[in-house]
A and B are shown apart, each in its own frame.
Chain A
């Protein structure tokens, strides 16, 4: 059998971290540049939500968001109603277009915004909404969502898409 001889290190070897620091500095600069151009924080694609692509150049802004993913309709981060491939349950629809749970959620949000606007003159209740929709959602559901939002005094819409 061979004998393994262990050498005792005479002193602690100093690591040269300059090259590592160079790399981190470059990475930090790159991330900071991209961070400044990053779009609004409340837009996030997920497994249930894939955005269409567009040639538009308009940047997104932060405002009330209605998310219509493959299964759900979400207002301001809260689940409002579920749908099945763009079709809603009959008891959730009124007059063929108005989605009752969505209408109630938007009215509640609108009242809250109006109250804040009455207390804070710098803030305005604008009636604008961004629609984050999955690319496969049929127009029939989009029409119902837009009609309902219109009934709740949200008349200005912005669709969200990925830049081509």
Chain B
């Protein structure tokens, strides 16, 4: 038998206009609903309010073992805790840098020293001054929560330090 081969006619002038209509309709919808910025969240619990001499911590999970505390003042940071916990060089005060900005990298290094000394500690209490801006509180939380370590290949990797951040509310 002879197979008759039919020639398939070339697809000339395919009507792309309906497809174009659809794409043009979808793009504005996507452009309106899309978010070009990525938002992230940071967990925290209620402020710690001390009533007279009684210390109250709202969540049992957040009960600090060594009471690591970072006070944010106008001058800079003060690291403290129970039994005179300080950074290894004995200096617990981190002043603002020459430009008047908070020195987050030094704070991060000092907290890392404490973390190495107390690896089972996961909580930290931040006590900001009432005038401290929200931006500075978030940056301090970032400096307390994790540090960046480099592996053998020189790749940067985030490692957890004090993930349970509790905001200190002051005295009632």
Instruction: Enumerate chain A interface residues (CB-CB to B < 8 A).
Output: 14, 17-18, 20-21, 24-25, 27-28, 31-32, 34-35, 37-41, 43, 45, 51-61, 96-97, 130, 133-140, 142-143, 146-147, 150, 155-163
Contacts and interface: CB of A to CB of B under 8 A. Distances in A.
Give 7 closest A-B pairs by Cβ, nearest first.
A135-B135, A140-B130, A52-B135, A31-B30, A158-B41, A163-B38, A139-B128
A20 B16 CA distance: 10
Nearest to A134: B134
B170 interface: yes
Interface in B13-61: 13, 16-17, 19-20, 23-24, 26-27, 30-31, 33-47, 49, 58-59
A138 B47 contact: no
B58 A155 contact: yes
Given A14-B13, A24-B23, A35-B30, A143 B40 contact: no
Interface residues of B, number: 49
Contacts of A134: 134
A135 B132 CA distance: 10
A41 B40 CA distance: 13
A35 to B, nearest CB: 6
Contact of B45 (A139, A143, A155): A155
A55 to B, nearest CB: 5
A39 B128 CA distance: 29
A45 B30 CA distance: 18
Interface string B117-158: 000000000001111111101110110011000000000001
B169 interface: yes
B86 to A, nearest CB: 24
Contacts of B31: 31
A21 B172 CA distance: 66
A57 B130 CA distance: 28
A136 B41 contact: no
B167 interface: yes
A140 to B, nearest CB: 4
A37 B169 contact: no
Contact of B169 (A27, A35, A133, A143): A143
A130 B39 CA distance: 12
Given A28-B27, A31-B34, A143 B17 contact: no
B7 to A, nearest CB: 24
